[in-house]
Amino acid sequence: MRTMLITLLLFLAPLSGCLLETEDDGCVSAQGSGGEGPLRILTYDIAAFSDEMLGEFTCNTGYEIELIYADDAGGILELLLQTQQAPQAHVAIGLDNTYLQSAIDFGLLAEHDVNTTHIDPTVMERYSGPFAVPFDQGDVCLNYDEREVDGENLTIPTSLWNLTEPAWKGKTVFPSPLTSSPGRAFMAATVSYFENDEDESTDAFDWWQAMFENGATVTTGWTEAYEIHYSGGYGAWVDGHLGDAALTVSYCHSPGVEAYYSGNWTVSTSLLLPRASFHQIEYGGLVNGGGNVEAANAFLTYLLSEEVNRNMPVNNLMQSVLVNATWPESEGYRYHTDVPEVKADLSTERIGAEMDAWLLAWTDEKNEAEA
Amino acid sequence: MRFEIKAGTVNVENGAIFSELDLAVASGEIVTILGPSGCGKTTLLRACCGLTALTSGERWLGDEALEPGIHPDITLLFQQPVLYPHLNVAQNIALGGSKAEGKKQLAERVNAVLTAIGLDGFQQRGVASLSGGEAQRVAFGRALMQDPKVMLLDEPFASVDVARRLALAEMTREHLKERNITVIHVTHDEDEANIMSDRLLRWSEVQPAPPDGEEE
Amino acid sequence: MNLASSKRTPFGVHPIQWLVLAFVIALGIGPLSLAFTRLWAVTGITPWEAVTQVYELPAAKDALTFAVLEATVSTVFTVAIGLPLAWAFGRYSWSRMRLKRSLLFLPFVTPPIVAAAGFLALLSPGGIVYALGIDLRGETGIIGWMASATGWEHPGHFIALITAHVWFNLSLVVRFVEPVVAQLDPRWEEQLRLLPAGQTRLGRIQHLWIPILGPATTVAAAYTFFFSFTSFAMVKWLAPASNTLESLLGEMGGTAGIEGYRVEASLAVLGIATFQTVMMLLMLILAGRFERKHSQVLSLHHEEANRRKHGAAPRVWSWFANGLLIMLLAPLVSVVVASFRVRSSNGATAGYEWTFEGWKRAWSGDFSTVPVYDALANSLTYAVITLLVALPLGYAVASSLVTLRREGHRRVAGMLDSLCMLPLSMSAVMVGLGMVAGILRWYPDLFSFPYLPVVPHVMLVLPFVIRLLTPAMERIEPKFAEQASLLSLGPLAFWWHSRGSFLVVPATMAASLCLAFSLGEFGATYLVVRVGSWDSLSIMVDQVASRPKFDPFVLPTAMALATVLMVVTLMVLTVNERARAWRVRHEV
């Protein structure tokens, strides 16, 4: 008994040192949002939401924040669908352009009241309707490990079909398009890639079939693919790392991020093949029926503000959507970031209309390969 | 107080344990019924105190015909003493006291009973550590605390070793007589029966017709 | 108090108790039935058709084969190691027994993500197992040789998974078998030694130990198989190339039951869930039959006298048991160590530094995660509410079952008992599925009920409470009630002396089990809406641990949270052991 009490006391002792100091912080006092309560943001683990950023929002506006987590952009859509009769969140952040149309078609989002005039028009071209605002963007593309793909062990692919050759057997990993938004984005890109290549007898799903037969690994999410399987990233230092894949799906600026965190050093680089990359835009929108509209609009506005959105590369590891967005120079971020010249050519409407069929076809190929 | 059972019958699935049994015990009298194991003695006692329902017949206490069920003035001492393991000796005995009693009064009575049954100083003892004889004395002490008019004793000394059995029987009779408690006592031990009883009956006298059923 | 006439209703059970029985059974089967109905409606095909369709999917077949294989191997090894351990624990007297038993049980209630992190730390470069030259993770060295020599694809991952399952389930074998050994009347063994058949050790094993321990071992093996079969997080982390039916369900569960969205996922979930439910039910019925046979009692003898008689364990047994305990602790210790350690990578090289930063972040929390004491408060709140709901319900059910059996309605009691045990046949993911696709889909307003996680917790914990209280109630001899009826006691005092006092210890054990399970529960709670401020500690551990780890402080923070969770759980389990020891000492 005594031992238990002592252990408990030792445990609680540090608490005394952690009593928060109250400061005179010059912030707006908590809004009489009254019955609405704190602003509930449904998102996945976007790093952009740092303490400072959220704290500043609360300080400036007085709106308190509460976060609800889903696993991924797909998880956000699912949660919105599950709770459609009784929405739990007020604003949803993180649906990308492979999920957005579904969200709109299901009536999950409400019209916002946010100024979007300062957003890059090319970004707004993708979607400029009233149900969502873009807040960051990036190009999804394949990354490979330069130590493995060095021209001796493996040569740099000049076509996606190279990845179906025996040398690449079991050395690729892809997050599943069913559960991962980068995975879904890349799969969409392959549709465009194979529609535009010289060979008219094959399509994306023939390629996927060949990839599965060539031992491509599929994971549920990007994190598992990148950290556990990909040999060229920071995953090498993570417990449980396997490093059995020399190539994975990530962002064209991921090597830049690697360099930024490792003192301008990385072995990862992007594979830039025409239309093998997908321009992903992430959106925020008001949840239909969620309420707390004023706070939600305020938050979206804040996300799009100059001081927050310009810092997306550092805070959120994605690019800003404002005009003249650039990558940071420091620690080789910009140097190691690759910029694809020709990206996949798919409209948001087409994605919305055909994504289900693509997912079914992808799943069929996977099932057949396992048979 | 006088206790009587009239035309008592207890039936079970395969016959009767006893039927049309008549037994009358005068006030303050100790009646011992002697019979072999399994003849129905325990069932008779259980029927007398209301733990087992009579299929037919009546129980009378004094001039009052009793309703079926337990009566506060009739108590039973089980063959194996039933002491509560979560209570010590004093607490077990105190359970026999009435709800109306004050704590101090109850404690005094408990101590008095302990002294009377020769277990002075046993107040705090745990019941698991008691010998068979000691345990039965505690159960007896608790029964005395209830101040019953009728006490039913079911082979009360079966779990006591032979050497102490007869001494305990004598002590028990002394206390019962002192308090003028009406007693029905059953046993298969002749020596015990001779010590305890004012009136000795054999089971065959009490229940002339052989029963069909087995004792439960 | 009138005992002579107890029949107030047919079967002798009070109407309120019937209501409680109905509620408990409904709570068990309701959500899953609602989920099946929902999936049926969304897919337009019956569960049976779904099973046949899904069976044709190679992924499902592979998952089933793998699940059966790993569950069988796990069970064999668990019993092979657990049986001698249980025997040694039961036979000899050990120092610090309570602590040892609590430690033994700790793996069972450790959230899978914590266990997985601990194992990964041990298996990766820098871990003890790797340092011994066994690379189960990267499968180089001797493991790699094994792979190429046998053509076995991932032997290292398989071995790691089996080891984790043995680690997890060892306490089951001990829990079931040890009491039988400890409480066996020594005269049985003595008698056998006097007979020709008992002259050799083999003879005694054959004629005494196998018949005596057989039923208990079989029950433990059945439950071990069950838990290994429905393994999810361990498979996901330790054997990433493989799937069990459970992990397939877990991946798709969140998508299921939504009208017009990913119907093929609903179909797959319907088929897999139906199949798994039926399989689990069969296993449960078999296990239940064995358990009833097992609980038909041997002559119970005083445990302490037995232990005193055999004395302290001989050295070999001592090394075996203590060594095993140390190995059991290893993954958990590595979690604690990992909370103080952060990797510092600088370009091509990386090393480790010692730091309190993980703990600081855990204490203070951030906008994504509440401070650890808030999460702990949430966890404890859920745990206490679970306890306050499950204990009375479990008592009422146990009481009804005991009454039914005493009144001679054994078949009815048996049937109702099995129905109440149904949640045991449901894996955590299925319980969560029942919540999400079942209750919440039909009654979405429940999403805003802050104590929603309590519902699946109560569901999962009730069978254990009933299992603990029922035999304890049955053991209470009717003579105590009869004696009490002869005394002038009020209703509450009557209940206390004739029943309540005898249930203090099993109720304490049930209570601490409720708390421990609720604290560590993860699977079912995970599928319910995770509003940050309601997060339980186990959910938060998973959340933080799942973050991308380019921030090196992610892991130490997660491990600090996990350490807090483990310590609190251990304290709760120690209470459980104290109660058990009290019972043994006082022969209650």
Contact exists between B and A (3 or more beta carbon pairs < 8 Å): no
Least confident stretch, A20-24, B22-26, B125-129, C178-182: A20-24
Chain C, residues 58-117, CB within 8 A of chain A, namely: 58-59, 62, 117
- Domain count across chain C: 1
Q: Which chain A residue has its CA at the smallest distance from C248's CA?
A: A220
Answer yes or no: is pLDDT of B5 > 90. Answer: yes
The string of pLDDT tens digits covering residues C474-526 is 888 889 999 999 998 999 999 999 999 989 888 888 888 888 888 877 666 66
* CB-based contacts of C159-162 (< 8 A; 24+ apart in sequence): C160/C119, C160/C123, C160/C136, C160/C238, C160/C239, C161/C70, C161/C74, C161/C231, C161/C234, C161/C235, C161/C238, C161/C239, C161/C242, C162/C70, C162/C73, C162/C74, C162/C77
The whole domain housing C75 covers: 45-230+263-335
How far is Cα C558 from Cα C576, in angstroms, rounded to an integer? 27
Given CB atoms, is A55 within the 8 Å cutoff of chain C? yes
A215 in reach of chain C (CB within 8 A): no
Q: Which residue of B has its CA nearest to C494?
A: B95
Q: How far is C582 from chain B (nearest CA, A)?
A: 11
The dihedral formed by the CA atoms of C554, C555, C558 and C560, expressed in degrees to the nearest 10: -120
Mutation for testing the C interface, residue in B51, B125, B151 having most C CBs under 10 Å? B51
How many residues are recorded in chain B?
216
Distance (Å, whole) CA C416 – CA C397: 9
Query: Which residues in chain B are contacts of C486 at CB distance < 8 A?
Result: 49, 51, 70, 75-76, 146
The verdict on A37 touching C (C-beta cutoff 8 Å) is no
Share of chain C above pLDDT 90, in %: 23
Q: Are C233 and C224 in contact (CB under 8 A)?
A: no
Count CA atoms within 13 Å of residue C68 on its CB side.
8
Highest CATH level, class, for B3-206: alpha beta
List the single residue in C479, C488, C489 with the smallest CB-CB distance to B82.
C479
Q: Does the distance separating the beta carbons of B95 and C587 come in below 8 Å?
A: no
Q: What is the phi/psi pair of residue C118, to 5°?
A: -65, -45
Encoded amino acid at A314, one letter: V
> pLDDT per residue over C99-148, tens digit each?
888 888 888 878 777 888 889 888 887 788 888 888 888 888 888 888 88
Would an 8 Å CB–CB cutoff place C140 in contact with chain B? Answer: no
Query: What does each of the 371 residues of chain A score in pLDDT, given as a tens digit?
Result: 555 555 555 555 444 433 444 444 667 766 544 457 889 999 887 655 777 788 889 888 989 888 888 877 888 998 898 888 888 899 999 999 899 998 999 999 999 999 999 999 999 998 999 999 999 999 999 999 999 998 888 999 999 999 999 999 999 999 999 888 899 999 999 999 999 988 889 999 999 999 999 999 999 889 889 999 999 998 887 878 889 999 999 999 999 999 988 888 899 999 999 999 999 999 999 999 999 999 999 999 999 999 889 988 888 889 999 999 999 988 889 999 988 988 898 988 899 889 989 998 998 898 888 77
When CB atoms are compared, the residue of C480, C490, C504 closest to B84 is C480
pLDDT at C529: 55
Contact list in B for residue C501 (CB cut-off 8 A) is 84, 86
Residues forming a β-bridge with C54: none
Q: Which chains are within 8 Å of C by 3+ CB pairs?
A: A, B
The closest of A148, A213, C96, A330 to A157, measured between CA atoms, is: A148
pLDDT digits (tens, 9 = 90+) for B145-179: 999 999 999 999 888 888 888 888 999 999 999 99
Instruction: Say whether residue B53 is in contact with chain C using an 8 A CB cutoff.
Output: yes
How far is it, in rounded angstroms, from Cα C257 to Cα B144? 70
What pLDDT is attached to residue A107?
95
Taking the Cβ of residue A7 and every Cβ of chain C, the question of whether any pair is shorter than 8 Å is answered with yes
Q: Which of C426, C586, C386 is nearest to C501 (CA)?
A: C586
Q: Tell me: pLDDT of B60 over 70.
A: yes
Q: Which residues lie below 8 Å from residue C327, measured CB to CB, with a gap of 6+?
A: none
Please provide the average confidence, as pLDDT, over all residues in chain C: 84
Cα–Cα distance measured from residue C187 to residue C299, given in angstroms and rounded to the nearest whole number: 10
- Smallest Cα distance from A6 to chain C, Å: 12
Tell me if C531 and A178 make a contact (CB, 8 A cut-off): no
Residues of chain C with Cβ-Cβ distance to B80 below 8 Å are 479
C-alpha C501/C-alpha C486 separation (Å) is: 18
Q: Is C448 in contact with A88 (Cβ distance < 8 A)?
A: yes
d(CA A268, nearest CA chain C) in Å: 12
A139-277+328-370 matches A37-138+280-315 in CATH topology: yes
To the question of domain A139-277+328-370 being in CATH 3.40.190.10, the answer is: yes
pLDDT of C530 over the 80 cut: no
Tell me the fold of A37-138+280-315: D-Maltodextrin-Binding Protein; domain 2 (3.40.190)
The enclosing H or E element of C196 equals none
* Chain C contact present for B129, CB below 8 A: no
Contact C586 B128 (CB under 8 A): yes
Beta bridge partners of B25: B3
- Domain membership of residue C140 (yes or no) is yes
A residues 240..279 contacting C (CB < 8 A): 240-243, 257-258, 261-263, 265
Percent of chain C with pLDDT over 70: 91
The stretch C37-56 carries a mean pLDDT of 89
Q: How far apart are CA C472 and CA C468, in angstroms?
A: 7
Query: Among residues of chain B, what percentage have pLDDT more than 90?
Result: 59
Q: Which of C:146-205 have CB within 8 Å of A?
A: none
pLDDT tens-digit readout, C381-427: 999 999 999 999 999 999 999 999 888 888 888 888 888 888 877 87
- Residue A44 contacts C where some CB pair is shorter than 8 Å: no
Min Cα–Cα distance to chain C from B102, Å: 15
What pLDDT was estimated at residue A4? 56
Task: Spell out which residues of chain C touch residue A236, defining contact as CB-CB under 8 Å.
Answer: 350
pLDDT band at residue C5 using 50, 70 and 90 as cut-offs: very low
Inter-chain CB proximity B85 and C588 less than 8 Å:
yes
C58 vs C13: which has the higher pLDDT:
C13
Answer whether B103 touches C (CB < 8 Å): no
- Distance of residue C580 Cα from the nearest chain A Cα, in angstroms: 15
Instruction: Using pLDDT thresholds of 50, 70 and 90, give the confidence band for residue C533.
Output: low
What radius of gyration do chain A's Cα atoms show? 22
* pLDDT value at residue C116: 85
Helix (H, G, I), strand (E, B) or coil at C96: coil
Beta carbon pairs, A and C, within 8 Å? 146
* Bridge-based pairing state of the strands A172-175 and A247-251: parallel
Distance from C-alpha of C486 to C-alpha of C483, rounded to nearest angstrom? 5
Count CB neighbours of C517 within 10 A: 21
Tell me the nearest-neighbour CA distance from B188 into chain C, angstroms.
22
Give domain status of residue C419, yes or no. no
* Domain at C91, CATH number: 1.10.3720.10
User: Is residue C80 within 8 angstroms of chain B, CB to CB?
Assistant: no
Which residues in chain A have Cβ-Cβ distances shorter than 8 Å to C549?
227, 234-235, 238
Report the residue of C483, C485, C582 to disrupt the B interface, i.e. the one with the largest count of B CBs within 10 Å. Answer: C483
Q: Is A59 an 8 Å CB contact of chain C?
A: no
Q: Delimit the domains of chain A by residue range.
A: 37-138+280-315, 139-277+328-370
What are the φ/ψ torsions at residue A133 (nearest 5 degrees)? -120, 140
**Helix and strand totals (H; E) in chain A:** 14, 10
